[in-house]
């Protein structure tokens, strides 16, 4: 007894008007797989699990890359970060204390640099309305706003005319922290830093943390860099941030900036970093990690493909009598091969679609419960997951289909 009935019907869809109709071509594999029962379901499950792994891991890797890059979103692609350090083996007492830089000369010397801001920072206690708060004090110049893209929520930023004034600008997080203790800050109020009173002239909008910068303006009190001598006995520039007009000339501008700083800060060790190159390296590393995850999913797909091959081999063995009868009634070898390939195609496509849906749900759940900003669909996850699942299923189903097509009617009926 064989499971399905083979009808020789003329159809405009078939080549030369021979063979079953398209509807029967689709209906018959579904019916044959349904009769296989648990074996077909387990093979389908193997394909689905492999597709789940590919789709979920690619999407998770893609979103991990986006989340990591979003941390550097405010950095910009045209910044240079120069770190100034004391060379190993030398004592700070033997080096001069440098608290200012002529950034106007730097802009003329290092062509392409439009703004530069030296930084001096320290942590100390600040007294305000009877409250004492330990915070960071950041000394810089008026160009810091242009370099970092800082915007004001209230008041104004430091200017070159504030160089020797006791003016201060407060970061957004610092204001939030003070308000949580019941202290409300308004423009014009005075805060005590060290032995001096500084007048609040501005409050910053939130900017966000930048891992490449030594300190976030959101968490600091900004003072004119010249005024740092009031609160630090021997202040020293530790970093210089510069903005370049053209990201294509960053490497040339980096070399010019380093050469100029080494001349101005003799005896100090200057190291200029290009954040854009770091971002490119991070993006490439994240993509490599995503493809490694996809490779793990591909291994699961291979296991599922072996399951499909096992089911199809058993299917051909059990249906040898049916194959012989079909050939005796006029079915060609390619019709037999197509029949079993269609069954493998239906099996793998169904498993791939189910796996893709579950993989998307799994990836979204991971991103959501990890607290990441948002979920974004990887452009290659679905095509690669579904496509590879179908191709692997067909590849492993090809050998049993060809084995069935090579049978002769006499051999199939005799061995059945």
Q: Per residue of the chain (416 residues), what is the pLDDT tens digit?
A: 444 444 444 444 444 555 556 666 666 666 666 766 777 788 788 888 888 888 888 888 888 878 776 765 555 567 888 888 877 766 666 677 787 888 888 888 877 888 999 999 998 989 888 888 889 999 999 999 988 888 999 999 999 899 889 999 999 998 888 888 888 888 999 999 988 899 999 999 988 776 667 778 888 999 999 889 888 888 888 889 888 877 677 788 888 888 898 888 888 888 888 776 666 777 777 778 777 877 877 787 788 788 778 777 777 777 777 777 777 777 777 777 777 788 888 888 888 899 999 999 999 999 988 888 889 888 888 998 888 888 887 888 888 888 777 777 666 666 55
**Would you call 330 helix, strand, or coil by DSSP?**
coil
The closest of 396, 343, 348 to 30, measured between CA atoms, is: 343
Query: Does a structural domain hold residue 76?
Result: no
CA–CA gap between residue 198 and residue 214 (Å, rounded):
23
**89 occurs within a structural domain:** no
Structural domain count of the chain: 2
Mark whether 163 and 104 lie in a shared domain. yes
Q: How many CB atoms neighbour CB 184 within 10 A?
A: 9
Residue 6 lies in a domain: no
Which pLDDT belongs to residue 13? 47
Q: What is the DSSP string of 25-61?
A: HHHHHHHHHHHHTHHHHHHHHHHHHHHHHHHHHHHHH
Tokens linked to 260:
């100029």
Residue whose C-alpha is closest to residue 50's, from 296, 380, 362: 296
Contact 103, 237 (CB under 8 A): no
Domain containing 332 equals 15-70+281-415
DSSP-derived secondary structure letter, 265: S
For helices 333-369 and 275-318, what crossing angle results, to 10°?
140
Residue 227 lies in a domain: yes
Q: Give the integer Cα–Cα distance in Å for 342 and 310.
A: 16
- Listed residue (295, 154, 279) closest to 210, CA to CA: 279
* Domain co-membership, 168 together with 233: yes
What pLDDT shows up at residue 47? 85
Asked if the structure places residue 37 within a domain, the reply is yes
Question: Are 233 and 329 within one domain?
Answer: no
Last residue of a domain, one of 237, 266, 295: 266
For residue 5, tell me if it sits in a domain: no
Same domain, 106 and 224: yes
Cβ(92)–Cβ(236) under 8 Å?
Answer: yes
Within 89-171, residue ranges assigned H as helices are 103-109, 144-148
Q: Which of 235, 266, 297 is the last residue of a domain?
A: 266
Same domain for 291 and 372, yes or no, is yes
According to DSSP, the β-strands at 167-170 and 196-204 are parallel
The C-alpha angle 295, 310, 291, rounded to 5 degrees, equals 5
Q: Do 212 and 160 share a structural domain?
A: yes
Residues 286 and 257 in one domain: no
- 256 and 313 in one domain? no
Residue 390 and residue 361 share a domain: yes
- C-beta separation of 323 from 336 below 8 A: yes
Rounded to the nearest angstrom, the gap between the alpha carbon of residue 230 and the centroid of all alpha carbons in its chain is 45
Statement to judge: residues 241 and 143 lie in one domain: yes
Is residue 102 assigned to a domain?
Answer: yes
Integer Cα distance of 395 and 87 in angstroms: 63
Q: How far apart are CA 106 and CA 116, in angstroms?
A: 8
Does 62 share its domain with 190?
no
Instruction: Name the H helices within 121-246.
Output: 144-148, 172-180
Q: How far apart are CA 396 and CA 378, in angstroms?
A: 28
Identify whether residues 255 and 290 lie together within a single domain: no
Q: Does residue 1 sit within a domain?
A: no
Domain end position, chosen among 266, 290, 305: 266
Look at residue 199 in the predicted model and tell me its pLDDT: 93
Give CA–CA dist 382/380, Å, rounded. 6
């Amino acid at each position: 007894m064989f499971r399905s009935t083979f009808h020789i019907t003329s159809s405009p869809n078939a080549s030369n008007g021979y063979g079953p109709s398209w509807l029967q071509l689709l209906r018959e594999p579904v019916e044959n797989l349904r009769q296989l029962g648990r074996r077909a379901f387990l093979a389908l499950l193997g394909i689905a699990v492999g597709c789940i792994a590919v789709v979920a891991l690619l999407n998770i890797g893609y979103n991990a890359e986006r989340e990591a890059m979003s941390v550097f979103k405010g950095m910009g692609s045209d910044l240079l970060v120069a770190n100034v350090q004391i060379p190993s083996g030398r004592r700070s007492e033997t080096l001069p204390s440098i608290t200012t830089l002529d950034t106007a000369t730097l802009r003329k010397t290092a062509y392409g640099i439009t703004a530069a801001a030296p930084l001096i920072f320290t942590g100390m206690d600040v007294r305000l309305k009877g409250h004492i708060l330990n915070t960071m004090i950041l000394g810089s110049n008026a160009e810091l706003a242009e370099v970092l893209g800082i915007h004001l929520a209230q008041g104004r930023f430091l200017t070159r005319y504030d160089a020797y004034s006791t003016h201060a600008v407060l970061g957004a997080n610092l204001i939030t922290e003070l308000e949580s203790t019941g202290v409300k800050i308004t423009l014009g109020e005075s805060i005590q830093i060290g032995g001096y009173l500084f007048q609040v002239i501005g409050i910053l909008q939130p900017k966000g943390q930048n891992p490449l910068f030594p300190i976030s303006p959101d968490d600091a009190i900004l003072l004119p860099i010249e005024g740092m001598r009031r609160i630090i006995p021997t202040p020293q520039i530790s970093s210089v941030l510069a903005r370049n007009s053209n990201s294509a000339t960053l490497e040339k501008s980096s070399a010019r900036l380093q050469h100029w700083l080494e001349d101005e800060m003799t005896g100090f060790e200057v190291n200029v970093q290009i954040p854009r190159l770091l971002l490119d390296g991070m993006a490439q590393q994240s993509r490599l990690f995503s493809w490694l995850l996809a490779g793990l999913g591909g291994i699961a797909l291979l296991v599922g493909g072996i399951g499909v091959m096992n089911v199809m081999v058993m299917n051909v063995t059990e249906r040898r009598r049916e194959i012989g009868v079909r050939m005796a009634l006029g079915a060609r070898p390619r019709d037999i091969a197509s029949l079993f390939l269609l069954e493998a195609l239906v099996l793998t496509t169904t498993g791939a679609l189910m796996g893709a849906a579950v993989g998307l749900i799994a990836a979204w759940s991971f991103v959501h419960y990890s607290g990441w900003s948002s979920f974004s669909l990887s452009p290659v996850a679905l095509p690669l997951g579904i496509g590879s699942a179908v191709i692997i299923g067909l590849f492993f189903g090809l050998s049993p289909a060809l084995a069935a097509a090579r049978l002769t009617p006499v051999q199939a009926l005799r061995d059945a």
